[in-house]
Structure 1
Amino acid sequence: MAAAVAVGALALGVAAQPVAFAAGRPDSVQRGLDGLVREAGVPGALATVTDASGRSRTYTAGVGDVATGAAVPRDGQVRIGSNTKVFTAVVVLQLVGEGRLRLDDKVEDHLPGVVRGEGFDGRTITVRQLLQHTSGIPDYEAEVGEAIERGRYVEPREVLEIAFRHPATSADGKTFHYSNTNYVLAGLIAEKLTRRSLAAEIDRRVVKPLGLGHTYFPAPRDRGIREAHPHGYHQDAVGGPLRDVTVIDPSAAWAAGQMVSTNSDMNRFFSALLEGRLLRPQEQRAMRTTVPIEGSDVGYGLGLISRPLSCGGVYWGHGGDITGFETRGGVGPDGRAVNIAVTTDPADHGVTRRLEGLVDEALCR
């Protein structure tokens, strides 16, 4: 989100420590980050590229704080926005693997009476349709940006009330329409089945087993970023003044976009997921079964996005935008992983295109 929540576009154990890029002529990733700062006007940018053996390189460009000129922390923490959806989807799919629900269960089976609105009804919408954004349930994103920036805590049920004021986006159960509301509902289902908070389940099932030591789901009213991080900024319009929005309340994003991580942790997470270390083969196949996103060559699975590479094949990942930050990345066919973050939310969609192009270049070089 720009002054909002999340974008509607995108190894187990201890990994090798990221190393700074060696001195000398900058490679294509460094040149790409430098270009984002110099030509696209983002305050700061940071990236990590991890090869199939787990060896990483980190990169930075620009400044981490425009007021002081402080450097961008190498592999600093950032808000990862809609990448959170992948963590939520993993929890739900693990519950499927445990036999505690089915992808074709109706939402009504687990949240009786909750989903009712003009053109949509939880009695006909499945869990699979939530995770794949084919439910037709409307989004709440555009109406919560002010609450985020003002630091107001927002309960999941409050964003549902906002979303349900609007009519369905489609009625056939097959058409992709990105809606953060889907993942709020998925998170509520996970909480009901486990009788634990979604944050606790993500930590227990994903973060701790993978050793993601710099990844967390902010606690209620936790408005800062805990470890070394660049500041995040918002522009009301392209070229406009930068407003520091590092300290916000991300609660409105919740299961759809609330988490904080680093580029290296995100590479480890996506690599482990795509290697089959988090899900059984059946749920892994379901997660990678996509529907087309209209007007693009991109496919959306159950919380995973598939994008073609210029060098052939596809890469799998997601991406996320939240107030102050934009991230893109994924894992290519050879196991190389890349994640890139910039410290503005996307007032300029040209920045998004450049980020996606840089991910492609990093995975293809």
Structure 2
Amino acid sequence: MKNTSSPSSDIPNESLGPAGVRGELHVLAIMANEKRDDQSRLKDSSTRTFKVEALLAKANSATEGIKGDFGVEDGGSYLLLPQDQAMSRVRCAGGMFEFKKNSKGEQSLVSFECTATSTAEARRKFSETVLPFVDYLSYVANCPIVLTTIRVHDPKNDRHAIEYVSPYRQAIFSQHISNLYPEMAPVHAMYREAKNSHSDFYTFLCYYKILEGLLGAVRNEVFVRARSKGISLQGRREVVPASEHIAESYQKHVGKPIKGFFDEVLNPQFRVAIAHFITDAGTILNMSDFQHANSYAEVLFVTELCVREVIQSHSLLLEALHAKNGA
């Protein structure tokens, strides 16, 4: 909790969680006549009106800050509104929402009002009501429509909840690096592909494929090569690394074999759905569904930790193989 009288505030990156991980920033306005404490306002479960606004963009782009006071001029899209039309209003079973335009005439912000008991429920209703229409517009107009930032306003408690992706930190690169083995080139390429993606679904799939290879065929090939040369290799025990930032639902896997986590959790619960669209149980993966999206965002960090652990193990095996082979 941090108090400030300024419309902006400096928050250390470390306080925003690991780089690349999604989070939510809650801002409470200081109200002169407010008698409730902050926790009462944050945990209010009464039914009330919420306003959800999302900023549109033509493409994903990295940002080094969290902008919570965004407006129509901060967004843009390939969708235009007529000059004499200030906004486009859509009514459907889930409620009403509006697309507002910037000075270029581009639809740049979508605004939705609903009744809910929490910011999470308001975001879920936004996903259920607004995103299907946005998905349809992307298909009809044959163009990308990116929602870069979502802000949920709770007027009763004068509270804003802002979704963000924790910014990446600058790193000092030393040219004196260890050996770079050609066998690792596809792995590093897939890892960079994951990092360059702004889709949790696609990032997860990249991480999954790395684990699938290094825990399976790619790893086996190294031992086959070693045996053919009479070389004995000893792999280290690979376990799910510990971190306070791992979601509570996955903390029970910390310290247990990564292979078991891969086989028992990542494959049946996530890979099958994203690879086949429809699972054996008949569940259809909806990438705009709040629960589906949240589940992938939640498992992403622990998966990344496992990937880095397995990459390091595999690199050590290659180092031992090349050293014993005299290469």
TM-score by length of 2: 0.23
TM-score by length of 1: 0.21
Structure ranking higher in helix proportion: 2
Q: Which has the larger radius of gyration?
A: 2
Higher RCO (Cα < 8 Å, 6 or more apart): 1
